Amino acid sequence: MTVDAAVLPPARATLDRDGRLVSADQRLLDLNGRAGGMVGQRLAIPQLVTVVRLAKRLGIRVSRTVVVADGGGDLDLWVRAEPFEAASAPDGVALTVSGWNSRPSWQPAGTSEDAAGDFLRSAADWMWETDSTLSLTFLAASGSMPRTADAALLGQPLTRMFQLGEDDAGTFPILTGLAQRRPFEGQSATLRSTGQPVLLSASPRFDPAGLFVGFIGAARAIDAMERFTADGKAAPTPDLDAVATAFAARLDHTLRAPLDRIIANADRIHAQSDGPLKQDYTNYAADIASAGRHLIGLVDDLVDLQAIERPDFTVAREAIDLIDVARRAAGLLQIRATAARVRIDKPAFGETLPATGEFRRALQVLVNLIANAVRYSPVDGMVWIRAERAGRIAAIIVADQGKGIARIDQDRIFGKFERVDQTEAGGSGLGLYIARRLARTMGGDVTVDSAPGQGARFIFSLPLWG
Amino acid sequence: MPIDDREMEDKTRGGISTLLARAAAADVRADEALHVAIDDVFLPDAARLEDRIRHGVTHVLRDLANGIAAPLRRHAARLLTTRDEGALAELLLASNDDTGARLAAAGSLRDARLMREIVGRVRQEVVADALPTVAREDPDTSSLLPRLLYHADPVVGSSAAALLAAESRRRIGGPLGAPLMSDLPAELHHRLAWLSAAALREQFARAAGAALPALDRALAEAAVRSIATLDENQRLEAVALRLAEALEPTPGERAVLLVEALLDRRLALFIAIIAQGLGLDFADARDVVLDPDGARLWLLLRALDLDRATIARVGLSLGEADPRRDLDSFAEALDTIVAIDPLAARQALAPMLLHRDYRAALTALARGQERSASLRDWIA
Residues A324 and A455 in one domain: yes
Flag if B133 and A156 touch (Cβ within 8 Å). no
pLDDT in tens, A164-192: 888 777 788 888 888 888 888 888 888 88
- Choose, out of B48, B164, B264, B306, the residue to mutate when testing the contact with A (most A CBs < 10 Å): B164
Q: What angle do CA A378, A379, A381 make, to 5 degrees?
A: 65
Pairwise CA distance, residues B136 & B259, whole Å: 12
Domain limit, last residue, from A79, A103, A127: A103
Find out whether A462 and A326 touch, Cβ atoms under 8 Å: no
Flag if A57 and B332 touch (Cβ within 8 Å). yes
Whether residue A112 has pLDDT greater than 50: yes
Residues B264 and B155 in one domain: yes
Chain A touched by B142 (CB under 8 Å): yes
Q: Nearest CA to CA, how far is A53 from chain B (Å)?
A: 9
CATH code where residue A72 lies? 3.30.450.20
Q: Nearest CA to CA, how far is A36 from chain B (Å)?
A: 26
Closest CA to A177 of A147, A134, A220: A134
Return phi, psi of residue B77, to 5°.
Answer: -65, -40
Residues in contact with A206: Cβ distance below 8 Å, sequence separation at least 6, in sequence order: A1, A78, A181, A212, A213, B135
Count up the domains in chain B and report the number.
2
Question: Does residue A404 lie in a domain region?
Answer: yes
Whether residue A2 has pLDDT greater than 70: no
pTM of the model: 0.67
Question: Does residue A132 lie in a domain region?
Answer: yes
Residues A95 and A119 in one domain: no
Whether residue A226 has pLDDT greater than 80: no
Mean pLDDT confidence for A87-92 = 72
Flag if A137 and B331 touch (Cβ within 8 Å). no
Flag if A63 and B174 touch (Cβ within 8 Å). no
Flag if B132 and A143 touch (Cβ within 8 Å). no
Q: Nearest CA to CA, how far is A57 from chain B (Å)?
A: 6
Mean pLDDT confidence for B114-137 = 89
Burial of residue A93 (number of CB atoms within 10 Å: 0-12, 13-18, 19+): buried
Mean pLDDT confidence for A362-384 = 90
Question: Does residue B366 lie in a domain region?
Answer: no
Question: Does residue A413 lie in a domain region?
Answer: yes
Residues B301 and B165 in one domain: yes
Flag if A60 and B312 touch (Cβ within 8 Å). yes
Tell me what percent of the residues of chain A surpass a pLDDT of 70: 81
On chain A, the residues whose CB falls within 8 A of the CB of B143 are 131-133, 135, 137, 214
Lowest mean pLDDT across A248-262, B118-132, B359-373: A248-262
- Choose, out of A57, A64, A134, A148, the residue to mutate when testing the contact with B (most B CBs < 10 Å): A57
Question: Does residue B22 lie in a domain region?
Answer: yes
Pairwise CA distance, residues A48 & A44, whole Å: 8
Q: What angle do CA A436, A442, A446 make, to 5 degrees?
A: 30
Whether residue B346 has pLDDT greater than 50: yes
Flag if A133 and B133 touch (Cβ within 8 Å). no
Question: Does residue B179 lie in a domain region?
Answer: no
Closest CA to A372 of A298, A424, A423, A415: A424
Question: Does residue B373 lie in a domain region?
Answer: no
Residues A379 and A357 in one domain: yes
Question: Does residue A294 lie in a domain region?
Answer: yes
Find out whether A93 and A82 touch, Cβ atoms under 8 Å: yes
On chain B, the residues whose CB falls within 8 A of the CB of A211 are 134-135, 139
pLDDT for the residue numbered B6: 54
On chain B, the residues whose CB falls within 8 A of the CB of A136 are 146
Residues A153 and A249 in one domain: no
Residues A67 and A174 in one domain: no
* Distances B209 to A457, B203, B206, B215 between C-alpha atoms, Å: 67, 12, 6, 10
Lowest mean pLDDT across A37-46, A370-379, A394-403, A420-429: A420-429
Residues A33 and A66 in one domain: yes
pLDDT for the residue numbered A231: 45
Flag if B165 and A151 touch (Cβ within 8 Å). yes
Whether residue B101 has pLDDT greater than 50: yes
Flag if B132 and A208 touch (Cβ within 8 Å). yes
Q: Nearest CA to CA, how far is A59 from chain B (Å)?
A: 7
Flag if A137 and B315 touch (Cβ within 8 Å). no
Whether residue B177 has pLDDT greater than 70: no
Q: Which domain holds residue A135?
A: 112-231
Residues A297 and A323 in one domain: no
Count up the domains in chain A and report the number.
4
Mean pLDDT confidence for B220-236 = 89
pLDDT for the residue numbered A227: 45
Domain limit, last residue, from A231, A260, A289: A231
Positive/negative CA dihedral, B166, B168, B171, B173: negative
pLDDT for the residue numbered A3: 42
Binning pLDDT at 50, 70 and 90, where does residue A109 land? very low
Question: Does residue A313 lie in a domain region?
Answer: no
Search chain B and give the residue with CA nearest A65.
B132
Chain A touched by B143 (CB under 8 Å): yes
Residues A326 and A303 in one domain: no
Closest CA to A368 of A289, A441, A444, A446: A446
More confident residue, A132 or A5: A132
Mean pLDDT score across all residues of chain A: 80
Closest CA to A298 of A417, A439, A149: A417
Mean pLDDT confidence for A449-455 = 84
Residues A327 and A456 in one domain: yes
Flag if A60 and B309 touch (Cβ within 8 Å). yes
Q: Which domain holds residue B168?
A: 139-174+234-353
CATH code where residue A386 lies? 3.30.565.10
**Paired residues of A320 in beta bridges:** A355
Tell me what percent of the residues of chain B surpass a pLDDT of 90: 39
More confident residue, A64 or A426: A64
Search chain A and give the residue with CA nearest B167.
A138
Question: Does residue B102 lie in a domain region?
Answer: no
Question: Does residue B165 lie in a domain region?
Answer: yes
On chain B, the residues whose CB falls within 8 A of the CB of A132 are 135-136, 139-140, 143
Binning pLDDT at 50, 70 and 90, where does residue A428 land? low
Residues A412 and A387 in one domain: yes
Flag if B164 and A133 touch (Cβ within 8 Å). no
Residues A154 and A81 in one domain: no
Whether residue A446 has pLDDT greater than 50: yes
Helices within B173-307 (DSSP H only): 186-208, 212-229, 236-247, 251-263, 267-278, 282-290, 295-303
Strand A456-463 with A445-450, pairing: antiparallel
Q: Which of residues 131-170 of A touch B (CB under 8 A)?
A: 131-133, 135-140, 143, 150-152, 154-156
Question: Does residue A25 lie in a domain region?
Answer: yes
ipTM of the complex: 0.74
Domain limit, last residue, from A308, A329, A363: A308
Chain A touched by B353 (CB under 8 Å): no
Search chain A and give the residue with CA nearest B338.
A58
Closest CB from A59, A155, A205 relative to B161: A155
Strand A136-141 with A126-130, pairing: antiparallel
Rg (CA), chain B: 26
pLDDT for the residue numbered B303: 93
Mean pLDDT score across all residues of chain B: 86
Q: Which of residues 106-135 of A touch B (CB under 8 A)?
A: 131-133, 135
Residues A323 and A450 in one domain: yes
